[in-house]
Amino acid sequence: MGATFDFGGKVAIVTGGGSGIGEATATEFLRSGAKVAIAGRKADRLEAAAEKMRETTGGEVFCFATDVRVQEQCQALVEAVVRHFGRLDILVNNAGGARHAALRTAPVESWRQDMALNLDSAFFCSQAAYPYLKAAAADNGQAAIVNISSMAGNGGTIGCGGYSAAKAGLQMFTRVSAAEWGPKGIRVNAVAAGMIATQLAKANWAKTGFDAAAATTAFPLRRPGEPEEVARTVLFMASDAASYITGETLIVGGGPTIKGMIDTDD
């Protein structure tokens, strides 16, 4: 598929960029002309993903091993990217993950890790990126942050209470940072992903015996989403096409699961 938007001359950071939605998002940015930095805890996974991106897009990828749960490492990431590329225009806070446990038995450490990975990380990276995004906006009119949330942050998921609460918090962080930073030309939006068939998700489905095909019969589109479908939404939110959108959360989830009273299928 060709480029969806034009990001020529722009620099983007994608956290959790070594796999899944993050990898797909970084690849789409590269196809659209951006220079991209990908961050994650495992340097070997980052470099493997980067090499694949270079081969498929011909774009310039910078890898920086980072634990986004640690504020100092987030600051180091942003500073390294600006040293390498000379600027920063877009931040995608994609790193995240869920720990499964009932609330009545969930260890405190599990709760704290859900908050650290899914919420604290976005705050740390956004705060570190702010002065450089502000400078980019002064230079070309706007800069953008896109936070990757989840439909769990909208409706909640039983067994993932910490994750659900963190993603809901991420959506409120999106609104407040958009309000505070909009006057400086920085737009902040979120994308709430539904059931997305990443490699990790498919492996977990196979391990647990989860029937994704059966589960998606409740969705109007009757299938799981693909990482690229989330990625293209991220690019829209970061692009000039969304220049008057900020503080919003856009759901990418295959449609509303609305129950009816009569059969309307023809």
Q: Cα–Cα distances in Å, from 102 out to 35, 148, 210?
A: 42, 24, 18
Read off the CATH number of the domain in which 182 is found.
3.40.50.720
Q: Tens of pLDDT along 195-228?
A: 887 777 778 778 778 888 888 888 877 887 799 9
Whether 16 maps to a domain, the answer reads yes
Structure tokens at 101: 């446990």
Among the options 130, 132, 163, 244, which is catalytic? Answer: 163
Sheet holding 35-40, edge to edge: 61-65, 35-40, 11-15, 90-93, 143-150, 186-193, 249-252
Q: Tens of pLDDT along 235-244?
A: 999 999 999 9
pTM higher than 0.85, yes or no? yes
Does position 162 have pLDDT exceeding 70, yes or no?
A: yes
Whether 262 maps to a domain, the answer reads no
How high is the pLDDT of residue 194? 82
How high is the pLDDT of residue 3? 61
- CA dist., res. 177 & res. 127, Å (int): 10
Look up 163 and say whether it is catalytic: yes
Whether 28 maps to a domain, the answer reads yes
Whether 257 maps to a domain, the answer reads no
Does position 23 have pLDDT exceeding 70, yes or no?
A: yes
Whether 66 maps to a domain, the answer reads yes
Q: Tens of pLDDT along 95-131?
A: 998 888 889 999 999 999 999 999 999 999 999 999 9
Number of independent structural domains in the chain: 1
Does position 2 have pLDDT exceeding 70, yes or no?
A: no
Average pLDDT taken over every residue of the chain = 92
In percent, how much of the chain has pLDDT > 90? Answer: 73
Whether 194 maps to a domain, the answer reads yes
- CA dist., res. 118 & res. 115, Å (int): 5
Does position 1 have pLDDT exceeding 70, yes or no?
A: no
Whether 261 maps to a domain, the answer reads no
Whether 3 maps to a domain, the answer reads no
Query: What residue numbers bound the domain in which 213 lies?
Result: 11-252
Does position 264 have pLDDT exceeding 90, yes or no?
A: no
Average pLDDT on 41-59 reads 96
Determine the distance from the C-alpha atom of residue 87 to the mean position of all C-alpha atoms in its chain, rounded to a whole number: 21
